[in-house]
Structure 1
Amino acid sequence: MNNLPIIDIAIIVVYLLAMVAIGFYFSRKNKNTEQFTKASGKIPGWAIGLSIYATFLSSNTFLGNPGKAFGSNWNVFVFSISMPLAAWVATKYFVPFYRKTGEISAYTNLEKRFGPWARTYAVICFLLTQFARMGTIFFGMALSLQALTGFSMQSIMIVMGLCIIIYTVLGGMAAVIWTEVIQGIIKTLGALLILYLVIKQIPGGFTKVIEIAKADNKLSLGSTTFNFTQPTFWVVLLYGFFINLNNFGMDQNYIQRYHTAASEKQAAKSVWLCVWMYVPVSLLFVIIGTSLYSFYQLQPDLIDPVKIKLAAEKLGALATPAQIQNLAATFKPADYADKVLPYFMVTKVPTGLLGLIVAAILSAAMSTISSNMNASATVFTMDIYKRYFKPGINDKQQLFSLHIATVIFGLIGLSAGLAMIGAKSLLDTWWKLSGIFAGGMLGLFLLGLISRQTKNAAAITATIIGVLVIVWMTFSENISDQYSFVRNSLHSNMIIVVGTLTIFLAGILLTQFSRKNQAPKQ
């Protein structure tokens, strides 16, 4: 891998400085808690929509979707297909609900419904989810930049992490949203540029891409059989619906944006703008992966350096060239899928354009991480620090807490990214972690919103049952072969589906059972 030319480095540096400058610009207005968390409720709906879109379009999508399509097929796109239904539920029920409560935290209502334990449980689940998400995004960003610059993944994460922390702490939610508007545009243009550069270098163009993809069954959305032990069409669709329902209905990153809009109508429009932009753009990234597959199928020798480097890393320093060559020859596309896009960029993208694409990858990471940091700090300050440690906190102290918490959670996310170095698949890691943490939170929220008759005892019992089911589904693979019959046979993407439904349905049944027992006997 070659180091970046000076012009590309200059483009990246200018981009980073511009993001930090936006933070400094909004720091002049960022003088109170409402400005830091809500941007004073004066952000136009289109900007909020672009902001939500940019948060969705993280480096997990930028690198993960092409990698999945390269190594497998279009099964990953099924996740996006589920978004419109989740958005419909969100705009019909969730947006009006949060706008009416007026609470900046998404979890205050859980305490009103079921008590302090419910709010605390949801906050813990949310924070764990954010740590996992920030970690995988830091990791994805460093993975691509390491191939392009030659710097270590650790140093890349640290430098980028500090830049993100600076502009997020200085500018608050206003800086987060307006930088995400810019970043959303940059990463979309970056994706279009990558696709153009790939197709341009394929003899026969897009027609040849489709021909090879059809021959190798790369356009499939996955098996339509009702098999929930594999990532079939139905498994990814269910997973996508529940994750997106959690995003739009329980994730502080999005709930907080509903409050930055001037009206409920503007907030609802922002959700739909996000969906109508993300779905086709996520398809664009899948097409990029398929196009890269076709490109390297036509010229297989070009990808050999990636396979040899991977084989050398697996075998260690004592391996002979013959051993490395033999192992490299056994690799399938899925084994090196995450490395293909960065490799294409460093070897086939012209100087100048490469810097723009790297800026797009950086923007994909920075927009999501900054949003996660701001939301995590808001939740910690409102739901933990203010609720349990300093109820009488004034606005100045509250703003100070938000600043400190933003820094701390940024450093935690950075640490999670450093810990993920060596993960086999970027997207698989994120999906598994998010499914584990999100399942119980969404089930409890739906129980409180839909079943108005469910009381505290039924809710806490249902949550305990659901958490036990989630823990079993997640860790039963470690059970010895002697007791293999009690292992979870479902795919890991089903954890959030089963966990959510377990809590919700258990709460409903316990409520009905309680009402039946309390009914006066005739």
Structure 2
Amino acid sequence: IILSTILGWNLILTNIVIGSLVTIYTLVGGTETVSQTQKQQMFVIFIGMFLAFFLIVQKLPLDLNDALLYSGKMGKLNAVSFEFNLNNRYNIWSAFLGGTFLFLSYFGTDQSQVQRYLTGKSLKEARLGLLFNGLFKIPMQFFILFIGVMVFVFFQFEKTPLNFNPLSQSLKNNTEYQALNADYDQIHEEKKQKIIAWKTDHSEKVMSELKDLQAKEVVIREDVKKLINKEAPDIESNDKDYVFIYYILNYLPTGIVGLLIAVILSAAMSSTSSELNALATTTVVDIYKRNFAPDISEKKYLNASRLFTLMWGMVAIFFAVNASLFENLIQAVNIIGSLFYGVILGVFAIAFLFPKIGGKATMWSILIVEPVIILLYFLDVKEVIELEFLWLNPIGCLLMIGVASLLEGILGKE
């Protein structure tokens, strides 16, 4: 998305170019390349994020306390909800229950993560690697989201496009677009003046007016998305993943722009390379070696892993080219993961905790439970129950154990 925005490339072409680059260096270097590049990429990411935060705080017309208070009043800091509601995507219960099962599966069973522990020189080093995942990952993700809140406050004072996707500017001569833009300009100026007035005494009356103006702005932006979908359906109207890019390109010094582009590109390449390496490894070890070539030379296994890396790279590029951007990319990753992670965790839980359950019962349980999980998410069953994706993780795991236990009694241990 970043390169396509900066260079004016088609997003499909950009996916193919970057996907091919990552596939090639993963294919040539394997786990060692993934490990070494990720060390450098992490270093770049941390420097870039700290610089982005420092610069945006410097540019804010409000001090940090007022910025936090304003964003909180606007609902941007509602990090924790204690309401128990299965249709509520994010609350403390879905985090502790659904999130715990999600991360148990991700950090405990996903080859893309487990391969990092397996390359440790000792058990102690592997445990430290797992520990540092939490020590670095959680603060880093919190920090990135916090920068997003500051960008929101910053854009309360700066005129922004109605849609952050640069391609949407092709509609700027459209009559309906111009009318919406005029309404937005008026709202933006009024909102900016009211924020300045609110800053002096933190008046609740002014804040209420600001919320009304913000709601009107949201409606206008949604109308613009509908217009884009109608007049230019080839343009991606979901612009959430373009917001930070717009800030980087338009408000940061040139050198910092290059660094932050490298930051986001590093993050994308880092995750992609580890996934490709994990897919190739599991394909070679669990399928190719076990079923087709149980006794060949290590060199031939190496060549097979390179071939499978190339194959999975092509598959990944195909999906990147054809998949929608969803609501936002981070959420898309967790939704897709939640469709499968509960079942995967259930398999491992059976292996470790229920040794009396055999392979045949477990395999049939996978074939039964996985379609149920997918149906629970995609079927329109709102009149009965509406589940948000985090809940699919504990449901998938517990269903796996329950169904496998039942089938074991019927099929017997293999």
TM-score w.r.t. structure 2 length?
Answer: 0.80
> 2:67: which partner in 1?
209
* Unaligned stretches of 5+ residues in structure 2: 185-216, 226-237
- The reply to whether residue 491 of structure 1 matches residue 388 of structure 2 is yes
> 2:250: which partner in 1?
347
Secondary structure of the corresponding residue to residue 238 of structure 1: helix
Within-5 A mapping of 1:440-451:
440-451=343-354
Amino acid of the structure 1 residue aligned with 2:19: G
1:317 Cα offset (Å): 8.9
Q: How far, CA to CA, are the matches of 2:165 and 2:120 in structure 1? A: 51
Q: How far, CA to CA, are the matches of 1:337 and 1:164 in structure 2? A: 25
Task: Identify the match of residue 119 of structure 2 among 237, 260, 265.
Answer: 260
> 1:434: which partner in 2?
337
Amino acid of the structure 2 residue aligned with 1:195: F
1:463 Cα offset (Å): 2.9
Q: How far, CA to CA, are the matches of 2:78 and 2:177 in structure 1? A: 37
- The reply to whether residue 500 of structure 1 matches residue 390 of structure 2 is no
1:377 Cα offset (Å): 0.7
1:201 Cα offset (Å): 0.6
Task: Identify the match of residue 40 of structure 2 among 158, 162, 182.
Answer: 182
Q: How far, CA to CA, are the matches of 1:323 and 1:308 in structure 2? A: 19
1:423 Cα offset (Å): 3.4
Task: Identify the match of residue 325 of structure 1 among 181, 194, 201.
Answer: 181
Q: How far, CA to CA, are the matches of 1:396 and 1:502 in structure 2? A: 41
> 1:337: which partner in 2?
240
Q: How far, CA to CA, are the matches of 1:504 and 1:360 in structure 2? A: 41
> 1:122: which partner in 2?
none
Q: How far, CA to CA, are the matches of 1:409 and 1:443 in structure 2? A: 25
Q: How far, CA to CA, are the matches of 1:201 and 1:501 in structure 2? A: 50
Within-5 A mapping of 1:278-357:
278-297=137-156, 299=157, 301-306=158-163, 320-322=176-178, 325=181, 329=217, 330-331=219-220, 336-357=239-260
Aligned pairs, number? 365
Q: How far, CA to CA, are the matches of 2:303 and 2:338 in structure 1? A: 33
Secondary structure of the corresponding residue to residue 159 of structure 1: helix
Assess, with a 3 A threshold, how the Cα gap between structure 1 residues 510 and 363 changes in structure 2: closer, same or farther: same
- The reply to whether residue 161 of structure 1 matches residue 23 of structure 2 is no
1:453 Cα offset (Å): 1.7
Q: How far, CA to CA, are the matches of 1:211 and 1:366 in structure 2? A: 36
1:493 Cα offset (Å): 2.6
Assess, with a 3 A threshold, how the Cα gap between structure 1 residues 146 and 374 changes in structure 2: closer, same or farther: same
Quick check: 1:165–1:370 contact (8 Å CA) kept in 2? yes
Q: How far, CA to CA, are the matches of 1:450 and 1:421 in structure 2? A: 39
Quick check: 2:112–2:278 contact (8 Å CA) kept in 1? yes
Quick check: 2:180–2:220 contact (8 Å CA) kept in 1? no
Within-5 A mapping of 1:92-111:
none
Amino acid of the structure 2 residue aligned with 1:249: G
> 2:191: which partner in 1?
none
- The reply to whether residue 239 of structure 1 matches residue 104 of structure 2 is no
1:316 Cα offset (Å): 10
Q: Which moved more, 1:318-327 or 1:358-367?
A: 318-327
1:509 Cα offset (Å): 5.3
> 1:463: which partner in 2?
366
1:393 Cα offset (Å): 2.3
Task: Identify the match of residue 372 of structure 1 among 258, 275, 278.
Answer: 275
> 1:269: which partner in 2?
128
1:476 Cα offset (Å): 1.3
Assess, with a 3 A threshold, how the Cα gap between structure 1 residues 352 and 259 changes in structure 2: closer, same or farther: same
1:182 Cα offset (Å): 0.7
1:311 Cα offset (Å): 6.5
Q: How far, CA to CA, are the matches of 1:222 and 1:339 in structure 2? A: 26
CA displacement, residues 437-480 of structure 1 (integer Å, 9 cap, x when unaligned): 22221111111111122223442443344224213212312x7x
TM-score w.r.t. structure 1 length?
Answer: 0.64
Q: How far, CA to CA, are the matches of 2:90 and 2:392 in structure 1? A: 15
Assess, with a 3 A threshold, how the Cα gap between structure 1 residues 348 and 427 changes in structure 2: closer, same or farther: same
Task: Identify the match of residue 394 of structure 1 among 297, 300, 306.
Answer: 297
Assess, with a 3 A threshold, how the Cα gap between structure 1 residues 214 and 507 changes in structure 2: closer, same or farther: same
Amino acid of the structure 1 residue aligned with 2:22: I
Q: How far, CA to CA, are the matches of 1:369 and 1:207 in structure 2? A: 38
Quick check: 1:183–1:367 contact (8 Å CA) kept in 2? yes
- The reply to whether residue 220 of structure 1 matches residue 78 of structure 2 is yes
Cα RMSD over matched residues? Answer: 2.9
CA displacement, residues 162-207 of structure 1 (integer Å, 9 cap, x when unaligned): 2212221221111110111111111111111111121111023322
> 2:202: which partner in 1?
none
CA displacement, residues 111-140 of structure 1 (integer Å, 9 cap, x when unaligned): xxxxxxxxxxxxxxxxxxxxxxxxxxxxxx
Amino acid of the structure 1 residue aligned with 2:272: I
> 1:44: which partner in 2?
none
Secondary structure of the corresponding residue to residue 160 of structure 2: helix
Q: Which moved more, 1:492-501 or 1:179-188?
A: 492-501
Assess, with a 3 A threshold, how the Cα gap between structure 1 residues 412 and 323 changes in structure 2: closer, same or farther: farther
- The reply to whether residue 420 of structure 1 matches residue 276 of structure 2 is no
Amino acid of the structure 2 residue aligned with 1:503: M
Assess, with a 3 A threshold, how the Cα gap between structure 1 residues 226 and 319 changes in structure 2: closer, same or farther: same
Amino acid of the structure 2 residue aligned with 1:169: L
- The reply to whether residue 472 of structure 1 matches residue 375 of structure 2 is yes
Task: Identify the match of residue 30 of structure 2 among 157, 172, 176.
Answer: 172
Quick check: 1:147–1:346 contact (8 Å CA) kept in 2? no
Quick check: 1:447–1:508 contact (8 Å CA) kept in 2? no
Quick check: 2:106–2:341 contact (8 Å CA) kept in 1? no
Q: How far, CA to CA, are the matches of 1:264 and 1:468 in structure 2? A: 37
Quick check: 1:308–1:325 contact (8 Å CA) kept in 2? no
Q: How far, CA to CA, are the matches of 2:12 and 2:125 in structure 1? A: 41
Q: How far, CA to CA, are the matches of 1:156 and 1:402 in structure 2? A: 26
Assess, with a 3 A threshold, how the Cα gap between structure 1 residues 320 and 448 changes in structure 2: closer, same or farther: same
1:318 Cα offset (Å): 6.5
Secondary structure of the corresponding residue to residue 302 of structure 1: coil
Assess, with a 3 A threshold, how the Cα gap between structure 1 residues 317 and 503 changes in structure 2: closer, same or farther: farther
Secondary structure of the corresponding residue to residue 352 of structure 1: helix
Assess, with a 3 A threshold, how the Cα gap between structure 1 residues 468 and 172 changes in structure 2: closer, same or farther: closer
1:420 Cα offset (Å): 2.0
CA displacement, residues 394-428 of structure 1 (integer Å, 9 cap, x when unaligned): 21211111111111111211111111255342233
